[in-house]
């Protein structure tokens, strides 16, 4: 009898199926456990599998559900196309990284929008730097936490012959901006936002009075009144139009026309925003070039009066010869101030009298400074002797002008 056939019930032989030899380890117990077979994916209805596509694209499915979805995608064309679209969309998603955003992004977006569609009530050109710097500082304040508002900040300026400073906090700096911006607000007829006595007309006196009237440490709650007042200033000057720029704003011992006062407030907002950014380790850049140019231009125009005030106080070199005492409107000795970089330019500064006419023919000295360096010198954040300035000509005149720039600063 052949070994390849079996006999049926009626005695006939039937061919056997061929035997496949198995590995030895499969039929003998060698002591090594066999691997567990992979579980079969669960069988789910089409509607359930389709509802899982979003979670699958985000890698948020349970392992069994992911297996079922992937098995289904091999046989369902419509679900496979939807899954591909969802995976591509997931690649566009990023976590919020507000601390790494360019602080000038909002300004650039607004500029792009306004270039295409001007606002119905445009902001005057001389108020645009203030509007932009308030927005940048507000973005910084929005990003910091509650504890950061108590971070120490040292306010710095230049007084007489040396630096001066006052210790505060982030919240205290915003209160300082609120107190001094109110000088402009009150000049425009807006309400006085602070409990400051009338005998505190100067920026420093107003700030000290406000700090002293606050019983508890200032917190992030000061942001709201500062922002409301800032928006009110921009809105009011926009409705008033460009002609309002001649309105006088008193600063106690001097006054500025509104168009210059708004640039001054933009400058202070930027400088103190840098103070805050440095304290809380926040990335912060300089203003837009055209706004920076307005700030530099204001400082350059204020230099003759600053130089004259230092001379009256005995802090600057008096004219050495009678011929240097020029009459108002007459040409006199001049210093050429060259500001390099974006927002820069050239200015001729009369040396002997604020009323004298500066001219290239009477130029006795030349100073070159980077724009941001010049602004930090004007803010009292750089000492005159440390300013990285290119110098040529009358050394006494150059020294007097650099110290006059630093003397523009105040708390």
Whole-angstrom distance, CA of residue 8 vs CA of residue 12: 5
Q: Is 332:354 a contact under the CB 8 Å cutoff?
A: no
Task: Calculate the CA dihedral of residues 256, 260, 263, 268 and round it to 10 degrees.
Answer: -20
* Chain Cα centroid distance, residue 299: 23
Whole-angstrom distance, CA of residue 408 vs CA of residue 309: 11
CATH number of this structure's domain 289-406, picked from the four choices 3.30.1050, 1.20.1500, 1.20.1630, 1.10.8: 3.30.1050
Q: With a threshold of 0.95, does the pTM exceed it?
A: no
- What is the residue-wise DSSP string for 137-201? HHHHHHHS-TGGGG-EEEEEEEETTEEEEEEEEHHHHHHHHHHHHHHHHHHTTPPP-S---TT--
Quote the tokens at residue 285. 């850049």
pLDDT of residue 236: 93
Whole-angstrom distance, CA of residue 264 vs CA of residue 272: 12
Whole-angstrom distance, CA of residue 251 vs CA of residue 218: 25
The domain limits of the chain are: 42-89, 121-280, 289-406
**How would you classify residue 252: left for phi > 0, otherwise alpha for psi between -120 and 50, otherwise beta?**
left
pLDDT one digit per residue (tens) for the chain, 411 residues: 444 445 544 555 555 544 444 444 444 444 555 556 656 777 888 888 888 888 888 888 888 888 888 888 888 888 888 888 888 887 777 554 554 556 566 666 766 765 665 556 789 999 999 999 999 999 999 999 999 999 999 999 998 888 999 999 999 999 999 999 999 999 999 988 777 666 668 899 889 888 988 878 899 999 999 999 999 999 999 988 767 888 999 998 899 999 999 999 999 999 999 999 999 999 999 999 999 999 999 999 999 999 999 999 999 988 654 445 677 778 889 999 999 998 999 999 999 889 889 999 999 999 999 999 999 999 999 999 898 889 999 999 999 999 999 999 998
Q: Where are the beta strands (DSSP E) in 313-374?
A: 331-340, 345-350, 357-370
Whole-angstrom distance, CA of residue 99 vs CA of residue 238: 31
pLDDT of residue 197: 67
pLDDT of residue 224: 95
Q: Is 339:371 a contact under the CB 8 Å cutoff?
A: yes
Q: Is 411:157 a contact under the CB 8 Å cutoff?
A: yes
Whole-angstrom distance, CA of residue 331 vs CA of residue 361: 9
Q: Is 138:185 a contact under the CB 8 Å cutoff?
A: no
Whole-angstrom distance, CA of residue 256 vs CA of residue 298: 10
Burial label for 390, CB within 10 Å (0-12, 13-18, 19+), is exposed
Q: Which of 61, 58, 52 is nearest to 89 (CA)?
A: 58
Its CATH class, for the domain covering 121-280, is mainly alpha
| CA-based end-to-end distance of the chain | 117
pLDDT of residue 33: 55
pLDDT of residue 231: 95
H helix count then E strand count, the chain: 14, 10
- Rounded to 10°, the helix 128-143/289-312 angle is 100
């Amino acid at each position: 009898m052949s070994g390849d056939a079996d006999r049926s019930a009626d005695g006939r032989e039937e061919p056997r199926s061929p035997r496949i030899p198995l590995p030895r380890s499969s039929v003998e117990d060698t002591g090594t456990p066999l691997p567990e077979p992979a579980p079969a994916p669960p069988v789910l209805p089409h509607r359930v599998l389709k509802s899982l596509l979003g979670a699958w694209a985000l890698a948020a499915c349970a392992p069994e559900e992911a297996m079922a979805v992937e098995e289904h995608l091999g046989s369902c064309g419509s679900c496979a196309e939807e899954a591909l679209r969802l995976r591509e969309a997931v690649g566009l998603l990023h976590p919020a990284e507000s601390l790494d955003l360019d602080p000038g992004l909002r300004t650039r977006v607004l500029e792009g929008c306004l270039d295409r569609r001007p606002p119905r009530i445009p902001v005057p050109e001389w108020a645009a730097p203030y509007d932009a710097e308030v927005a940048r500082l507000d973005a910084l304040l929005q990003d910091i936490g509650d504890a950061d508002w108590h971070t120490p900040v040292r306010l710095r300026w230049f007084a007489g012959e040396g630096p001066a400073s006052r210790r505060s906090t982030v919240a205290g700096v915003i209160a300082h901006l609120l107190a001094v911006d109110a000088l402009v607000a009150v000049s425009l007829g807006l309400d006085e936002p602070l409990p400051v006595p009338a005998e505190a007309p100067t920026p420093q006196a107003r700030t000290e009075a406000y700090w002293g009237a606050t019983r508890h440490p200032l917190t992030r709650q000061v942001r709201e009144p500062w922002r409301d007042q800032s928006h009110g200033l921009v809105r009011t000057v926009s409705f008033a139009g460009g002609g309002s720029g001649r309105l006088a704003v008193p600063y106690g011992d001097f006054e500025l026309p509104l168009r210059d006062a708004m640039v001054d407030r933009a400058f202070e907002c930027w400088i103190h925003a840098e103070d805050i950014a440095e304290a809380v380790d926040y990335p912060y850049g300089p203003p837009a070039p055209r706004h920076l140019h307005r700030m530099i231009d204001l400082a350059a125009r204020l230099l003759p009066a600053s130089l004259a005030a230092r001379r009256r106080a005995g802090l600057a070199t008096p004219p050495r010869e009678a011929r240097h005492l020029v009459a108002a409107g007459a040409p006199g000795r001049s210093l050429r101030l060259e500001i390099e970089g974006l927002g820069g330019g050239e200015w001729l500064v009369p040396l002997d009298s604020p009323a004298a006419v500066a001219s290239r023919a009477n130029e006795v000295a030349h100073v070159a400074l980077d724009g941001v360096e010049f602004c930090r010198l004007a803010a009292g954040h750089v000492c005159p002797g440390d300013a990285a300035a290119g110098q040529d000509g009358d050394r006494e005149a150059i020294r007097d002008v650099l110290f006059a720039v630093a003397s523009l600063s105040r708390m």
